[in-house]
């Protein structure tokens, strides 16, 4: 996972280069000529993996996994993703469950270590449960919204783009980076919001807040334009054959971060996704050549997809 402030021994973000691109490749490969067993195995194993991730308290990675799979299926099997009444009901139910889980996930470690029994944890959650949990200020939107309020109220001097241009070399591993990496803007906000003991957890940081502290009001307009161009680029990239389809599916997962992650994290993950999909494509080309299999441009034995614009 990403290292918390003050943590030195932690797995750094490059693992995302394997997780999200890997899910995109496996989803793509599972649709090989309609073999249902392969597809069913992928969905079952992916669901088990998502459950394990949830038990670690990470909802963001689960959402990114779901969006990546949706990005692949939206091109290969668009008929399965048509909006229906039951689809909206499932989305609403999932939102409510994610909100409840957000309040309950702090009990998971206590149950795992034996400090609290499962029945006690459920009882505590039931006692605290309220309809207010579903409102934006008490849900997943609270952190990014608070970061925007603090940026506006505590803003005194523009950073003049420092959090953006200082991020370009931070994608390098620590042993290759010249000096100490600048602190993430979101970590400063996490410390300001933290109360009580225990580890400092992530609150999320609104990209609009980051744009404001860098360039003032002008930055707010620019950030919306940049995010729009980002998603338009994803739409264009998915027409670039198999490599483009897989990359666009991986990049679609960044929709989770449009409201709650600073530029450096988006930049890191975008770079890692491009690297991960490229490595997978190269490996497939090498294996296909060695095994005298299908042409390398037909990644995972899927027929070439026509322009889907």
pLDDT in the model for residue 60: 84
Q: How far apart are CA 49 and CA 44, in angstroms?
A: 9
Separation in Å, CA 210 to CA 50, 176, 223, 259: 30, 27, 9, 11
Separation in Å, CA 84 to CA 81, 87, 90: 9, 5, 10
Residues of the chain with pLDDT under 70: 1-14, 32-34, 102-114, 117, 121-122, 125, 127-143, 155-156, 194-202, 292-309
Helix ranges, the chain (H): 16-30, 36-55, 60-76, 85-104, 106-113, 118-128, 142-153, 162-165, 185-193, 207-215, 217-237, 241-252, 263-290
pLDDT in the model for residue 195: 65
Single pTM value for the model: 0.76
pLDDT in the model for residue 274: 94
Q: How far apart are CA 145 and CA 167, in angstroms?
A: 23
Q: Which residue, 193, 210, 207, 214, is CA-closest to 5?
A: 193
pLDDT in the model for residue 200: 60
pLDDT in the model for residue 178: 85
pLDDT in the model for residue 133: 65
Sole residue written with tokens 């990675």: 61
> What does DSSP assign to residue 306?
P
pLDDT in the model for residue 25: 92
Tokens for 133?
């949990």
Q: How far apart are CA 151 and CA 42, in angstroms?
A: 43
pLDDT in the model for residue 135: 67
pLDDT in the model for residue 140: 59
Separation in Å, CA 226 to CA 18, 92, 230, 248: 26, 29, 6, 17
Q: By the 8 A CB rule, do 247 and 277 touch?
A: yes
Q: How far apart are CA 6 and CA 71, in angstroms?
A: 36
């Amino acid at each position: 996972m990403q290292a918390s402030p003050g943590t030195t021994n932690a797995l750094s973000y490059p693992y995302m280069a394997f997780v999200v691109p890997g899910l995109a490749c496996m989803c793509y490969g599972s649709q090989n000529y309609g073999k249902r067993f392969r597809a069913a195995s992928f969905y079952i194993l992916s669901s088990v993996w998502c459950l394990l991730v949830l038990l670690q308290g990470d909802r963001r990675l689960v959402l990114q996994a779901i969006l990546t799979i949706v990005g692949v299926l939206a091109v290969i099997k668009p008929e399965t993703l048509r909006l229906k009444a039951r689809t909206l009901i499932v989305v609403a139910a999932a939102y409510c469950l994610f909100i409840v889980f957000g309040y309950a996930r702090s009990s998971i470690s206590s149950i795992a270590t034996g400090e609290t029994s499962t029945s006690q944890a459920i009882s505590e959650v039931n006692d605290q449960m309220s309809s207010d949990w579903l409102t934006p200020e008490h849900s997943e939107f609270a952190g990014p919204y608070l970061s925007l309020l603090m940026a506006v109220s505590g803003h005194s001097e523009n950073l003049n783009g420092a959090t953006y241009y200082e991020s370009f070399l931070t994608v390098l591993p620590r042993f290759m980076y010249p000096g100490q990496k600048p602190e993430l803007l979101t970590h400063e906000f996490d410390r300001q919001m933290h109360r009580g003991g225990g580890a400092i957890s992530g609150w999320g940081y609104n990209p609009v807040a980051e744009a404001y502290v860098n360039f003032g009001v002008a930055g707010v307009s620019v950030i919306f334009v940049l995010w729009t161009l980002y998603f338009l680029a994803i739409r264009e990239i998915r027409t670039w054959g198999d490599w483009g389809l897989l990359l666009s599916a991986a990049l679609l997962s960044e929709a989770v971060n449009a409201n709650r992650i600073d530029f450096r994290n988006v930049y890191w993950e975008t770079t890692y996704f491009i690297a991960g999909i490229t490595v997978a494509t190269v490996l497939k080309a090498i294996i296909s050549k060695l095994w005298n299999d299908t042409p390398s441009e037909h990644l995972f034995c899927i027929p070439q997809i026509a322009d889907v614009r």
